[in-house]
Structure 1
Amino acid sequence: MTIAAGAELLDYDDVIARYDPVLGLEVHVELSTATKMFCGCATTFGAEPNTQVCPVCLGLPGSLPVLNEAAVESAIRIGLALNCEIVDWCRFARKNYFYPDMPKNYQISQYDEPIAINGYLEVPLEDGSTWRVEIERAHMEEDTGKSLHIGSDTGRIAGATESLLDYNRAGVPLIEIVTKPIVGAGAGAPQVARAYVTALRDLLRALGVSDVRMDQGSMRCDSNVSLMPKGASEFGTRSETKNVNSLKSVEVAVQYEMRRQAAVLGSGGTVTQETRHFHEDGYTSPGRTKETAEDYRYFPEPDLEPVAPSRDLVDRLRATIPELPWLTRKRIQQDWGISDEVMRDLVNAGAVELVAATVEAGAPSESARAWWGNFLVQKANEAGVGLDRLAITPAQVAAVVKLVEEGKLSNKLARQVVEGVLAGEGEPEQVMTDRGLALVRDDSLMQSAVDEALAANPDVAEKIRGGKVQAAGAIVGAVMKATKGQADAARVRELVLAACGQS
């Protein structure tokens, strides 16, 4: 773990011996809606700066917000999946603060009247046990814009020569999920934090409400950490590490703050209530003094009607909640008969659901795992995208597997077919035909190639005739090269041996 310049850290075992950690996790999730929360602007990630904006999301005078119905339904589904109570009535509020990436100088959010309250999530831990994380609330709001600081080594404003503003993200639908204080985790607090964010990410992906790409900012975690001396009953002063954007970083940030705060308290100092920045080197640094709710001067949003979801709507959305993804994984792991290690690799690659869909489309689980867990992972890494972003569907992978099973393709040729599908050349069978990749099944054509190879390699042919049948591999290789890999290698070997009197 890297230590920030001037920072002192207490040994972790000493931290646990002296203090009880208290966590609070706030996870912000951008919804995968086609348009923004209060206007019709697109939400496409990576668009040219300031091309997805309008008077509403820029906060121009006279513009009025209109609530996105799909975002409300996603918020309800998230609340239901987190075992929350969906309230009969809620409304939006204005959260006032002044920052360049907030074009209206306030954020439309929910304050004391959120849409979902009092839930929980049973989080699976690595040792097979579970930890219940109590959920305080899940509320709707709009995202801010993005500041780009130029000339700074860290990408932050300190040391920057200029700052640019991109308002494409301003107004994107956002759900903030806030836990109640997490106490009693002790030495396992950093791991519980990581496990919770991991489970939440998996759940939201299964719901289909967000792509939860932490690397792109569509899921971000603010981790609140405080320490209580052993035997104390009052929580300590907390710090809030903002916008932590990977699962590993959540764990590292929590542990670092525990060790830093313990060192401050142990030296007789006082922990400052503040926001902190997380650095990928593994440490945090001060941000700004943490505001209280009063500092934001919340008041009801006058331009939006309250939201009052009907019981019929809630019941209809409840019926769409899928099985918890980790329970699904446990079940299919048993069905596939694979080890915990193999399943963990598939989970880390984001391949489990894709493999399951490929099996459902007719492929054997072993073949589906081989494609998604090896070749397609390589292709995704080369393209710098997630597996689910590749231009190939589980049904298409299953079709490739079927072509191999039918003997129309070898595994090597099948990879070329998959590359063609990824390149947008059509369905697997069409790619196979257009590229001329189908295996040669005509014995007369293969026999001709065998005869030519034997004639070109008389010394090898003589060895085979003399009983050294392993030498047939050289002739088979020559035939496969001559036929561009399209001959049936097993059948070619049979023809070679027969031609040399060794059948």
Structure 2
Amino acid sequence: MSAPALIRGYEVVIGLETHAQLSTASKIFSGASTQFGAAPNTQACAVDLALPGTLPVMNKGAVERAIQFGLAVHAKVAPLSIFARKNYFYPDLPKGYQISQYEIPVVQGGKVEFVLNGQKKTVRLTRAHLEEDAGKSLHEDYQGQTGIDLNRAGTPLLEIVSEPDMRSSAEAVEYAKALHTLVVWLGICDGNMQEGSFRCDANVSVRKPGAPFGTRREIKNLNSFRFLQQAIDFEVQWQIDRVEDGLPIEQATVLFNPDTGETRAMRSKEDAADYRYFPDPDLPPLVISPAWVARVKTAMPELPAAMAERFVREDGLPEADAALMTQSLAFARFYEAVRDGCGTPKLAANWLMGEVSKRLNAEGRGIEAAALQPATLAALIRRVADSTVSNNGARQVFELLWSGAQTDVDAIIEAQGLKQMNDSSALLAIVDEVIAANAKSVEEFRAGKEKAFNALVGQVMKASKGKANPAQAGELLRQRLG
């Protein structure tokens, strides 16, 4: 593996803590709804508000989602884990503590693999633990005051902690994207970064190569991949400037301002001792039996890497194509449906990587919102494969299908006059006419100029109004020209 790139002679060291909101309908310790967008404080029950006499009850669905994640990253799923109270005061934390896991988390170890610039990278995971989210402070439209919305209080989170294995902002972004793809693929998190369902904290430090780790600063609540990269890049330059000026770097929690592109310190960074962790007396140890793990494993979808490998092995796709076909579970399912419908995997992949992706990217939509069904696209690809329509004609058909104006592939081909001319006798007559009318190009071709041949093919296509099969036209031209 090549040495990490240095920035102004310094090595960057990055670790990420990622909070994935689990896709349960209710909260981690109460029956209150987790639905996004409700009016403030309408989804906070007595347990979430920490009213006297209330007791937390573990959400089984949250545990099963944590087990799925542990299995997917090849981690150890702890047979017994402990919930702890993380004590701190903040207005949006009614209990005065957050229920989390500290000494014995539910998921231990593991790894996430991805490719960056054609090179395979592996980031080790320290742990993933279950915890509850806090509420939210609202600073706008409150006449200079701050409002507290406790709808998020008790929302189930899986906090995924990496080792400090990343050495650039680009590496951190690719790791975060791989993690995002995985949790959405598994269905354990919806991945909506705008709604806070997937957000990252980046621990960043710099050092001279071979030196001990520098003092880290934690950039909190980054809710887009672009902000993640911008925040790390700014923080790295800030830390290097500080070191170069002979000034100390203090461990701190910092915030990123996307409007200025800068980070600023929010508070000095607490250590674990500051939170006074101790086992939560209201929650018994979480016991996960091997049989429970086995049941969860049986219900899991095929993982992206395994599916991509299968597409290479069984469908004959290049690795790069297979990786694109598995960019999401929905995309992979769409590809499989098109492939099964047309019988030509490579053509199915080409159309998805080409026309379909171009349209989706232009419209800012995912494959779930594709304007045509897999069966319709498969029908179009079959007509390309059997030479009913040319590639150019097929693209015209695709435009009409995508617009929703029509859905019958054969009817569009017929109505638009796009059916290819496959009658060799009729095509031969056109070839003879083109040869007779283009003596100069014929002479140049016979003199060894291949471009002249392409020009003749173009003339045949023009004379046939685009209906000639280009391959057949070329073959007949070569026969006639000897």
Q: TM-score, normalised by structure 1?
A: 0.69
Give RMSD over aligned pairs: 4.0
Matched, 1:189 2:179: no
Maintained 8 Å contact 2:184/2:191:
yes
SS at structure 2 position matched to 1:215: coil
Write the distance in 2 (CA, Å) between the matches of 1:116 and 1:236. Answer: 28
Q: Give the 5 Å matches for 1:199-210.
A: 199-210=178-189
Q: Which runs of 5+ in 2 are unaligned?
A: 389-393, 418-461, 469-482
Partner of 1:112: 103
Q: Which amino acid aligns with 1:282?
A: G
What is the Cα deviation at residue 145 of structure 1? 2.1
Partner of 2:43: 52
What is the Cα deviation at residue 201 of structure 1? 1.4
Alignment CA distance shift 1:104-1:391 (3 Å): farther
Maintained 8 Å contact 1:358/1:368:
no
Maintained 8 Å contact 2:331/2:367:
no
Q: Give the 5 Å matches for 1:356-395.
A: 356-359=335-338, 362-363=341-342, 366=347, 370=351, 374=355, 378=359, 386-388=366-368, 390=369
Partner of 1:314: 293
The structure 2 residue matched to 1:85, chosen from 73, 76, 79, is: 76
Matched, 1:218 2:201: no
Partner of 1:265: 243
Percent identity between matched residues is 39
Partner of 2:445: none
Q: Which amino acid aligns with 1:294?
A: A
Alignment CA distance shift 1:132-1:359 (3 Å): same
The structure 1 residue matched to 2:14, chosen from 10, 18, 23, is: 23
SS at structure 1 position matched to 2:286: coil
Alignment CA distance shift 1:351-1:72 (3 Å): closer
Q: Which runs of 5+ in 1 are unaligned?
A: 1-11, 152-156, 422-430, 447-469, 474-488, 491-503
Cα deviation code 1:331-353 (max 9, x no counterpart): 5368475794x778777799732
What is the Cα deviation at residue 223 of structure 1? 0.6
Write the distance in 1 (CA, Å) between the matches of 2:243 and 2:78. Answer: 41
Moved more, 53-62 or 88-97: 53-62
Alignment CA distance shift 1:209-1:13 (3 Å): closer
The structure 1 residue matched to 2:127, chosen from 125, 137, 153, is: 137
Cα deviation code 1:134-180 (max 9, x no counterpart): 211110001222223216xxxxx9xx834333322221210001112
Write the distance in 1 (CA, Å) between the matches of 2:350 and 2:253. Answer: 43
Matched, 1:278 2:256: yes
Maintained 8 Å contact 2:24/2:34:
yes
Maintained 8 Å contact 1:244/1:250:
yes
What is the Cα deviation at residue 35 of structure 1? 1.5
SS at structure 1 position matched to 2:341: coil
Maintained 8 Å contact 2:116/2:171:
no
Write the distance in 2 (CA, Å) between the matches of 1:55 and 1:181. Answer: 39
Maintained 8 Å contact 2:325/2:332:
no
What is the Cα deviation at residue 322 of structure 1? 4.7
Maintained 8 Å contact 1:329/1:352:
no
Q: TM-score, normalised by structure 2?
A: 0.72
Moved more, 343-352 or 266-275: 343-352
Q: How many residues align?
A: 412
Q: Give the 5 Å matches for 1:402-481.
A: 402=379, 439=411
What is the Cα deviation at residue 317 of structure 1? 2.6
Write the distance in 1 (CA, Å) between the matches of 2:26 and 2:326. Answer: 30
Write the distance in 1 (CA, Å) between the matches of 2:38 and 2:355. Answer: 31
The structure 1 residue matched to 2:217, chosen from 214, 220, 239, is: 239
Moved more, 282-291 or 64-73: 282-291
Cα deviation code 1:19-78 (max 9, x no counterpart): 333222111101111211111222222333333221122222222211110110110111
Partner of 1:65: 56
What is the Cα deviation at residue 126 of structure 1? 2.2
Write the distance in 1 (CA, Å) between the matches of 2:464 and 2:125. Answer: 68
Write the distance in 1 (CA, Å) between the matches of 2:61 and 2:136. Answer: 24
The structure 2 residue matched to 1:252, chosen from 230, 254, 265, is: 230
What is the Cα deviation at residue 200 of structure 1? 1.1
Q: Which amino acid aligns with 2:180?
A: R
Maintained 8 Å contact 1:118/1:136:
yes
What is the Cα deviation at residue 472 of structure 1? 11
Maintained 8 Å contact 2:108/2:126:
yes
Write the distance in 2 (CA, Å) between the matches of 1:333 and 1:46. Answer: 42
